[in-house]
Chains A and B, each alone.
Chain A
């Protein structure tokens, strides 16, 4: 990486290699494509919404790495009951 690269804040290639590898390895290890993950998210929102009121736009689904095993992490914000009443 040259001085000029550094001055204009161009990204170091090792950093992008690591980021790209992280994503590729999650896919390789779980056989789960981003599209499938999106479909899973929609199904989850639908199922959970039948029981509680959730903020579906803020739902986040990701695959986290824990050593050599993968963990599906869902962050599903609930709407508070008081807000629901006031609506």
Chain B
């Protein structure tokens, strides 16, 4: 096995990075892939609660980096899917406990162990962000169709390109198609126009996301919700499948049929 290392980042906080990592991880692992999710938000760990694994933490990312445990000991197995693991962040340390070269080493150690490594980046463009992207093969930038999130995404895309990490791909999260229809939310096409990078997925706004994180059971475990389905589509695209972007995800079907924009 040689894993692809993906880092999900956004610049702005609260756009849904952690939810995305948990759900894409679950969706990939449901197809039989071996996935390791890494929470790199040291001091503000959250991926553990969103995945519902907070009671099973013994060792964390900093323990691995500082050699207090073996890599395998810090990988918590999510038993709901065959091969999904979480390496949690340390909660009582700060970003300086890990360096970009530590992350490169960790990724290199994980690559032969699995098919996918998903790294949840902290918000911002400081040390923690550089740690998160250091070992990545591909960067996923996440944004909301909202002015400050798009601006921050643009800044992050610029840095990722300057760091020679290749052109990132985009996930637009929390799209409210009713608002887009009435002209009160920037559309997918507008965001793509502005940011000029390739689209990986569109996730509609969905109350079930909060219900799922309340319970610690990621939506993509069953594909019945709109957002859960969108994350499953993203996972399939990552595996190289051509999955069309649903009409419902971007603009109204009727408007499209009538040729109105």
**Chain A contact residues, CB within 8 Å of chain B:** 1, 12-15, 17-18, 20-22, 24-25, 28-29, 65, 67-68
Q: Give the total of B residues in contact with A, Cβ under 8 Å.
A: 23
- Which residues on B sit within 8 Å (CB–CB) of A29? 154, 158
CB within 8 Å for A21 and B150 given contacts A14-B186, A14-B190, A67-B196 = yes
8 contacts between A and B (CB under 8 A): A1-B182, A1-B183, A14-B183, A15-B183, A25-B154, A29-B154, A65-B196, A68-B196
- Which residues on B sit within 8 Å (CB–CB) of A18? 186, 190, 193-194
- Which residues on A sit within 8 Å (CB–CB) of B146? 17
B158 touches A21 (CB 8 A): no
Partner of B151, one of A13, A15, A21: A21
CB-CB nearest 5 A-B residue pairs: A12-B183, A68-B196, A67-B196, A18-B190, A17-B147
Taken together as a complex, chains A and B put the C-alpha atoms of A81 and B252 apart, in Å, by: 56
- Which residues on B sit within 8 Å (CB–CB) of A13? 183-184
Taken together as a complex, chains A and B put the C-alpha atoms of A79 and B150 apart, in Å, by: 43
What's the minimum C-beta distance from B134 to chain A, rounded to whole angstroms?
A: 22
Taken together as a complex, chains A and B put the C-alpha atoms of A14 and B190 apart, in Å, by: 9
